[in-house]
Chain A
Amino acid sequence: MNVIIGLLSGIAASMGFGGGFVLIIYLTVFTDTNQIAAQGVNLLFFLPVALVSLIIHQKNRLINWKTLLRLLPGGILGILLGAFIAAHIDVGFLQKLFGGLLIFVGCRELFHKNTDSGGEKKERKTDTARQ
């Protein structure tokens, strides 16, 4: 079972599908690992798996370093802020909000028209800005 879960999580993680969902769900639902421990396992799992993926992605020239570097400062600040907020408020309500956002974006992605027109991208830009 570990082989299947490890493989599936690795495939999902390297493709940017959030491999964490596979591993965390398995650990919390099918073994009696608690949520925090499962998140820790997922983090340790993700680091080497992501490193291998990134080497291949880099070879395939799929990583946009310029965008990445511009996202990073905000990202680090956001993590600190997120961890601080999580320690002080009810995260359950926030999770519901996040779930709502995922339903919205998920439906858009799932049922998108098969075109990559500029108009569609612009529309999506304003949506994410609003959130």
Chain B
Amino acid sequence: MKKFFMGALCGLLNGLFGSGGGVAAVPLLESSNLEPKKSHATSVALIFLLSIATTLSYLLGDKLDFGLSWQYIPYGIIGAVIGAVLLKKIPNSLLRRIFGGVMLFAAFRIMMK
């Protein structure tokens, strides 16, 4: 039941802000005793599945620009390989600190909007 609400919270943030669900998902997953690396990898899987739903809703609303997206996707895929290899190798503690920094940056951006 707790997992249901945790999932709902991630989904709620994703639905509300378009992005941001992942930032919430990682600490939620870590709080259920998942180690940081697994929390990050599992959050990617969760956001991936949730993003399919969001993408469909954008598609129905005709809000997708495929041409612009394709300018970034090939490099993104190369980046994905680099990131996934790094995640396996990076120490958990360093991972949490980097992520903490990313969260503060995200917070700063949201507050400045």
Contact-size category for A: 35 or more
Please indicate the chain B residues that have their CB under 8 angstroms from the CB of A18 in the complex: 19-20, 22-23, 102, 106
Query: In whole angstroms, what is the CA distance A95 to B20 when docked?
Result: 10
Query: In whole angstroms, what is the CA distance A66 to B42 when docked?
Result: 10
Query: In whole angstroms, what is the CA distance A36 to B87 when docked?
Result: 30
Which B residues form the contact surface with A (CB < 8 A)?
2-20, 22-35, 37-55, 57-58, 63-66, 68-69, 71-88, 90, 92-93, 95-111, 113
Instruction: Assess whether B87 is in contact with A121, with CB atoms less than 8 Å apart.
Output: no
Please indicate the chain A residues that have their CB under 8 angstroms from the CB of B93 in the complex: 112, 114
Query: In whole angstroms, what is the CA distance A106 to B98 when docked?
Result: 9
Sampled A-B contacts (13; CB under 8 Å): A6-B72, A6-B79, A16-B87, A49-B79, A62-B42, A67-B32, A67-B34, A68-B42, A74-B7, A77-B7, A81-B8, A96-B111, A102-B23
Which label, helix, strand, loop or mixed, suits the secondary structure of the A interface? helix
Considering only residues 1-46 of chain A, those with a C-beta below 8 Å from chain B are 2-21, 23-25, 27, 33, 36-37, 39-46
Query: In whole angstroms, what is the CA distance A47 to B50 when docked?
Result: 10
Indicate whether A124 sits within 8 Å of B30 (C-beta atoms), given known contacts A11-B83, A57-B41, A78-B10.
yes
**What's the A-B contact tally at a CB cutoff of 8 Å?**
363
Residue among A9, A80, A107 making CB contact with B72, cutoff 8 Å: A9
Instruction: Assess whether A62 is in contact with B54, with CB atoms less than 8 Å apart.
Output: no
Nearest B-chain residue to A128, judged by Cβ: B31
Instruction: Assess whether B57 is in contact with A83, with CB atoms less than 8 Å apart.
Output: yes
Please indicate the chain B residues that have their CB under 8 angstroms from the CB of A65 in the complex: 45
Residue among A37, A101, A103 making CB contact with B65, cutoff 8 Å: A37
Query: In whole angstroms, what is the CA distance A60 to B18 when docked?
Result: 29
Interface contacts beyond A39-B58, A45-B72: sample of 11 additional A-B pairs, CB < 8 Å, sorted by A: A18-B22, A44-B66, A47-B55, A62-B38, A74-B3, A75-B46, A77-B8, A78-B9, A100-B107, A102-B110, A107-B100
Residue among B39, B100, B110 making CB contact with A108, cutoff 8 Å: B100
Nearest A-chain residue to B40, judged by Cβ: A16
> How distant is B107 from chain A, measured CB to nearest CB, in Å?
4
Nearest B-chain residue to A78, judged by Cβ: B11
Residue among A60, A79, A109, A116 making CB contact with B14, cutoff 8 Å: A79
Instruction: Assess whether B71 is in contact with A2, with CB atoms less than 8 Å apart.
Output: yes
Considering only residues 43-74 of chain A, those with a C-beta below 8 Å from chain B are 43-54, 56-57, 60, 62-65, 67-68, 70-74
